[in-house]
Structure formats: C-alpha cells, structure tokens
C-alpha cells in the first residue's frame, strides 16, 4: 500500500492540482467508500483528466496512502496539541484529563464518514501503521508527563499505564464517533474521566 507519488509538484499550479486530487480522494473515500474508490472517480471529482492524475500518482493506492496519512496526522496534531497546551505543572487533575479526552473525541468525530471507511472498510494493513503511529505519539507524551509528575499516578509502570489508557480511551472515543450509542456526550466524557482517574490512582 505504501506507494510513492510519481513525481513531486514544483510549480504552484502543479501543487494546486495535487491538492485537488488528494482532496477529491478524501471526498470519494468518505462519500462512496473503499470499494468505489478509483482513479477515474477521483479525477472526475477533482476536475482533472485521468492523464493529469497519472502524472503525479501511479495508481489509486498512492492517493489512498496520502489520504490516510493526512487524516491520522490531523488527529494526532489535534490531540498532541491538547496534551501540550493543557498539562501544566503539578498533578494532572480531572479538568485537564477531561480536556484531553474531549480533544480526542472532537478529532475522531469531525469526519465520521471517513473514519468509518478507514476503520471498517480498508484492509487492516493499509491503516494499521498510521493508527499505531498516532497511538505511539500520544503514549509518548503521556509517559513524559506521568514520569515528570509521579503524584498523578500510582501505577508502577508508566509505559504500561500509558498503553492501557490510550487503548481504552481511544476505543471508547472511536465507538462513540461511529455508533452514537444514544448517551449524552458530556456524560460519556465524565464517565471516561472517572475511568482514567480510578485507574491511575488505584
């Protein structure tokens, strides 16, 4: 799946064409699903000829790779920014935990149609690497803060604790974004805060 672009755009017009193609790829994937994803559909939505598309992308997998990479990068940036901006000196309190969890929920629920395709329709090998990179990035930040603020946790292994937290919270956020189970969002956030706090201080 990890296909490279055929050539890198150097001129402004070429860069704009590539961006239109990638945006169109994202739109086709979200609206029509993985099975309908093709270079011809992407070219049509982008308003370019298939020949113009093939100047930059050798096949649909090359477009798909960039769409996947960008999506998970956006999610990672949003959550990492929340971690970095909202955790200050001292123990990590419930308000900070809630803010971070809220950032993850917001990042995942921003484009539920695309999220559903990425998590439920794509071959797992196509998506696993980027999802794991997101998980690792969040875990690394959590390990840094839990190590620097031992009063925030009683868990004996901060690496294991960070992994458990990321797996648990990410799964709840993912299922909330995709399933919309009927529970009030704020109540769900409150319950996850209790879950995190209880685990760290148990």
Radius of gyration of the chain (CA): 20
Q: Read off the pLDDT of residues 154-175 as tens digits, 9 standing for 90 and up.
A: 999 999 999 999 999 999 999 9
Q: What is the pTM of this model?
A: 0.80
Q: Is the domain of 145 the same as that of 72?
A: yes
Return the DSSP state at 4.
P
Backbone phi and psi for residue 49, each to the nearest 5 degrees, phi listed first: -80, 155
201 vs 65, 95, 108, CA distance in Å? 40, 16, 27
Confidence (pLDDT) at 89: 62
Q: Is the domain of 121 the same as that of 179?
A: yes
Confidence (pLDDT) at 7: 61
Residue for token pair 């998980």: 135
How far apart CA 17 and CA 154 sit, in angstroms, is 53
Residue in 137, 175, 139 with CA at minimum distance from that of residue 159: 139
Q: Is residue 1 part of a domain?
A: no
- Cβ atoms 122, 34 nearer than 8 A: yes
Confidence (pLDDT) at 150: 85
Q: Read off the pLDDT of residues 18-37 as tens digits, 9 standing for 90 and up.
A: 999 999 999 999 999 999 99
Confidence (pLDDT) at 151: 85
| Cα 111 from chain centroid (whole Å) | 10
Q: Is residue 188 part of a domain?
A: yes
Structure tokens at 8: 């890198």
Q: Is the domain of 55 the same as that of 83?
A: no
What is the CB neighbour count within 10 angstroms for residue 181?
8
202 residues of the chain, pLDDT tens digit each: 555 665 666 677 888 999 999 999 999 999 999 999 999 999 999 999 999 999 999 999 999 999 998 998 888 888 878 777 766 665 567 887 888 889 889 989 888 999 999 888 887 776 788 888 888 888 888 888 888 888 888 999 999 999 999 999 999 999 999 999 999 999 999 999 999 999 998 8
Q: Is the domain of 170 the same as that of 116?
A: yes
Q: Is the domain of 152 the same as that of 57?
A: no
Q: Is the domain of 97 the same as that of 128?
A: yes
Confidence (pLDDT) at 92: 67
The SS3 of residue 103 is helix
Q: Is the domain of 37 the same as that of 54?
A: yes
Q: Is residue 3 part of a domain?
A: no
Q: Is the domain of 26 the same as that of 107?
A: no
32-48 burial, b for 16+ CB within 10 Å, e for fewer? eebeebebebbbebbeb
Confidence (pLDDT) at 8: 65
Q: Is the domain of 51 the same as that of 128?
A: no
Return the DSSP state at 47.
T
Residues spanned by the domain of 56:
12-61
């Amino acid at each position: 799946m990890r296909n490279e672009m055929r050539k890198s755009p150097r001129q402004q017009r070429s860069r704009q064409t590539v961006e239109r193609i990638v945006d169109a790829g994202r739109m086709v994937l979200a609206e029509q699903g993985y099975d309908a994803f093709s270079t011809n559909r992407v070219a049509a939505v982008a308003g370019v000829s298939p020949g113009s598309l093939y100047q930059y992308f050798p096949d649909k997998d090359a477009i798909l790779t960039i769409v996947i990479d960008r999506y998970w990068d956006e999610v990672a940036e949003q959550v990492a920014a929340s971690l970095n901006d909202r955790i200050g000196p001292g123990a990590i309190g419930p308000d900070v935990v809630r803010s971070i969890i809220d950032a993850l929920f917001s990042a995942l629920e921003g484009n539920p149609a695309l999220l559903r395709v990425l998590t439920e329709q794509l071959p797992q090998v196509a998506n696993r690497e980027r999802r794991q990179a997101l998980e690792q990035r969040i875990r690394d930040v959590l390990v840094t803060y839990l190590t620097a603020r031992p009063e925030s946790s009683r868990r004996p292994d901060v690496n294991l604790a960070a992994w458990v937290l990321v797996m648990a919270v990410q799964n709840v956020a993912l299922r909330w974004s995709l399933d919309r189970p009927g529970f009030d969002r704020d109540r769900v956030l409150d319950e996850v805060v209790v879950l995190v706090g209880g685990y760290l201080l148990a």
